[in-house]
Structure 1
Amino acid sequence: MVAAHETILRELLEGAKQYQVPLYQRTYSWSKVQLTRLWEDIRKLADDQIEDPTATHFIGSLVLAPSPNIGPAGVAEYLVVDGQQRLTTLTILLCAIRDHRAKYDGPEHHDRIHMQYLVNPFRAESQRLKLVPTQANRAAYLACVDSTPLAGGADPIGEAYRFFGAQLAAADDPDDPLDIERIENAVLSGLALVSVTAQAGDNVYRIFESLNNTGLRLSQADLLRNYLFMRLPTRGETVYRTLWFPLQQHLVFDDLVLLFWLDLVHRDPRVKQTDVYAAQQARLNRLRSEEEIEAEVRRFSQLGALLRVILHPAEESDPGVRQRLERLRAWGTTTVYPLLLHLLDRRERGTATSEQVASAMRYVESFFVRRLLIGRATANINRILLSIVTEMSPELPVDEAVRAYLSTGRKHYASDASVRAAVRSIPFYLNGRAHQRKLVLQWLEESFGSKEPVKPESLTIEHVLPQTLTPDWRQMLAADLGPDENFVEAYEALVHTIGNLTLTGYNSELGNKSFTVKQMDLKRSGLRLNQEIARQERWGRTEIHARADALAERIVTLWPSPTEQAPEQSDALWGLMNKVLAELPAGSWTTYGDIAALIGTAPLPVGTRLAKHPAPNAHRVLQADGLVAANFRWLDPSRTDDPRELLTAEGVKFDEHGRADQAQRIGTEELAQLAGVTPEDLPERLPRQRPAGDVDHAARFIEQLTALQGPTIATAVHVVLDAWTTMGGTLLYGSAGETSCFLMARSKDHELGNIWPAAIYPSGKFEVVFQHLSARPPFDDITLREELRQRLNQLPDVDIAAAKIALRPGFSLAVLVDADARDALLDHLHWFYDQATAISADRQIQVPSLQ
């Protein structure tokens, strides 16, 4: 006998209660994918509750059983049989809300949230926590609950705490004093759960099994189809033959679900793809006759024909519309599809011309490109795009309506002035997705109108000032610097900017060779982008800035600007700074220059900002040499403690000269990973049979490796690859400009999905992909990732800091030249392979019967 009822988080946590996660449950394993989905749900709910304070959002079930332990009177104890990941995440979120509100809204919020929802005050220590996680997670969880310096470490619990801290910092609008309070209320009173409580003697495992044994379910498209034809008892056969079957012929299976979602988003941009069937059914329930249902199927069929054009732009007859569809399709942002469907539907109904539709799409393309150039490629992009159709003005021509909507509010549609400033300083190469960066450079090249055809698929992005410096390049760049400038900071501020980037088919040949050598190769190129570089006598800061300025003028001409009413968003870079600082793990540090290079400014403004404005973890920002800045002061004038003491308590190591350990430093590229401005690039499976003339990626990898690292390192890597395949692994190769090699332990066809421990880059890095491993069993268990880190740290000259266990750190391929080090690495890789292949998807949580 079980009791099931709907509840909210406040009811679950208030009062003297304790929820114990049994030892047989798996450790906490939510990644940023699940955290982001939950956060987006909460933000949407908080907005909904402004209009309807009773609005709720269902987030699943929680299965509880009475604890077999006998606790003190007055404390209700439960075992969490199912739902522990969800419950743990919500309490971590409450810790983050507590700490954010205590810091920015007043200290009284700390005790209020802490004592009501996180602990049972005045109880014995064994009863103090309202949620008791598994033993493996307990230390990290306690650090969050008790706000110790170790809170927010590199483990999954610390990552969740840092994630929510960063999101709260980004969401806190100084002009809205109630925004965080609304988020707290949404969490406590708006998230609905079904609490299933077993009684003493119930078979809890059978309950658990029934909840999780889902079997093969019908898709949402199947459910909607069945519902529609259930409503067509006499017309069903005809409607299916004339309307539904042709629709299925036009669109593949997944695209049908996409169509039904797009139809809903036209009316309500908040609808999720997971809710398609329920939302469509609720809408269709209002229809009464077969004729009305048939009309809906006919409308779906007509919209399906338009979606077919969006997915296959070559079928569009108008050349202007076709070009814009092809470009937006190549950009790869599916949340623009509701707008595209609306635009094509407007043209179909005669309320917009092809010229207006193409113009509207051009504004959207410009919106994407300009956001990428100023480093805001992903900020709130989905929410913005899904709201265009319902919020843009119906009074204006459709293209002007799209432009006006994108120009209002904080949508980061960059003005000409913002673009001109950003191209000099924003690390273009670290922002957005790799194919989008290449598209911008490709479209710039096309704008020159060269008559010589260039195949885009053969081109890759090249850093002219290379990512690995040689003495020649150091000497050239040093000549541009003043006596007080830091060389490393000046280099980081230039290397990834668009002024230093071009397209070339000679990537492996160019590498980090001198400018004189590169110049000769670029002169032979048919690309106008390269010919301009080849005409320069040298390549330093002056030339990079001059090229950036020239590209900026071309950009503002090619891609139209927002309206004059568009706000300047000068505070955007500080919001990004606060976000990445909130994500910095305990036990790590970064520099003023690293942050400046990421957000597109100089180290001095970063220091000035931190000295005058509150920012998360500001004490973790040090000078490039690892020293605390001589003029460092706490914003709180009453604080006089040495920041090194706090950093030491968090796990940062200092030498006898007071310099922080460089191995624990989070550099610019790793900051980009933390901030999410550089999405994780996954390896692409190459076809077994390549068409004649297609690129041999394996051969290109070896070619690039030998050209950039020399035959000695190339041979050592080849030995490692041979040993990996001998033990049973396979090799996959990336298709980007630098051809990376992935050591695959499982393929994507495996029941648990693909997994790889590392990627090897010809530029010289053996990259350990902890970020990827955190979502792949069995390495979703942090104890295994930690063992891998410690094993690798046994290699000479390898020192991967604990704080980087959520990132993609690496070490030099030169380590592999030493035979003993290479053999040790192979032992560790063999251990990884055994761990990755020894488990099965049939792993089940063993829940004992409580009879």
Structure 2
Amino acid sequence: MAVNNLLDTSTVSLSDIIGNGKTYTVPPYQRDYSWKKDQWEDLWNDIIGINTTGNVHYMGSIVLQNMGDKKYHVIDGQQRFSTLTLIVLAIIKKLNSLIEKEIEVENNQERVSLLSKKYIGDKDPGSLTYSSKLQLNENNNSFFQSNLLVFRNPTNINTLQDSDKQIWNAFNYYVARVNEFFEKEEDGEKITNFLNKLIAERLMFIQIVVEDELSAYTVFETLNSRGVGLTVTDLLKNYLFSISSKVDLPHIKNKWKKIVDVIGLDSFPAFLRHYWISKNKLIRQEYLFRAIKESIVDSPSVILLLDSLEENALLYKALSNYSDSFWGGHREIKKRVKELTLFKEKQAYPILIAAYNNLDQEGFSRVLKLVSIITFRYTIIAKLHTNLKEDIYNKAAIRISNKEATTIGQIAELVKTLYPSDNDFKNDFASKSISTKRGKKIVRYILFGLENHLSHADNDYEENPGTIEHILPENGNDYYLADFPQAIHESIVYRLGNYTILEADKNRECEILPFDDKKAIYTTSQYELSKEIQSNSWTPNSIDLRQERLANYASAVWRISQYD
């Protein structure tokens, strides 16, 4: 291809883009509308800034594919196009409100007609719907055309798909901003000029027009490598579709949609990377697309990749939701998934994906337990660096995927480096503080883990009604000032040794009591963790001694037998 046919660039205004009878279509495979309130606010503030300063504002680059006959595909820029159209609609709605108030009716009707034809499109005389200048992707276009462009409220907002709901919320956001800005303005000419002279003429774009799909893809990738911020999702989708055969493309598009529907656009890049490094060497997010591109080179390999992604999408989603139906009735798996969600553990996802795909259910369950206990010791208690964890889990995942590690003993040996020894764990636990202001769920989890060990029970830390009791009161108490002056109170009150579990009524009763009176109540509790408190007084030394004892219990609760 000759270089001069690859692309044509120019600096254009919004008016230049939309004028001259051009129409734009967002290809079916492009992402749904995804801008959120932060982006809506930024764009509106940019427009208000233009109004204040009179300067132009650059909106970045847009990539268009020339389809002939003044028709273009929007390769990059659909979020901005869509949102600017919503602003146009909000301004037209404001003019319509003037008409309803019988203010300059004929002039404002003509303004609405001219603005609609210039920025929105022409209305079909039969269906009374717009043949619009902008067609969104296959998921959003129906709602965009049949509701937004004709100002028709949805029948039931709650039944809209998420991206349609997002468009509707964006439109109403701009309706509110326009109404605020023109709160006392009843001059239709000024409102019209805000769009026609300010927004349309002073929002500037770098327009890049290419002639074919390959050129579009090349520009798309180049822009991303220069920091424009296109996501790996956008890049991968465009690349996979560009190398797919025409016969396979409908099937591939359908598979892609199913995967994204399960995972969600926001979570897809992380899912893709975790899936990839469950089989391949560790790679940073910014290099992921290039690595996949080197491996996936034709339509059959695209289908194989998407087949595997589709198979793993439900697993990946369920890894962050213990109540997902994916787990069926497997109680142990649900318990461990719940723990990993509490720990916010995601670096282990590659080894869990590999284990699920290559081991039986019991083997996968044992790997889950292994990872959960390691996470508790390594991350929650020891607070060790996470880089090593990702590297070791990646190497273990590859061994599992290659059938080189097939037993829990072999897998445990591969990740042994991440397991703090009993001695180290006890030392870390014995000095650990976790504030109930920020980590209440973690504190409950630890206390009920210890309680279950002492009472040989199986209480769920979320479902059990027991409450956290601060033996040294959290908000201070005159009875404790002699041993815990204000200067040291904050550093001690959130020590694990200062916590126990009590029934809610007993907890309230203890609130203002001295330690001796509290201890008498503790002996009446159903919880062994409280009944075993035998100190004659409550001092910093008492907390140290108790926490050392709890550390011994903890080393038995959170233990991997293979490492004994």
TM-score (norm: length of structure 1): 0.34
TM-score (norm: length of structure 2): 0.50
Larger radius of gyration: 2
Q: Going by fraction, where is helix more abundant, 1 or 2? A: 2
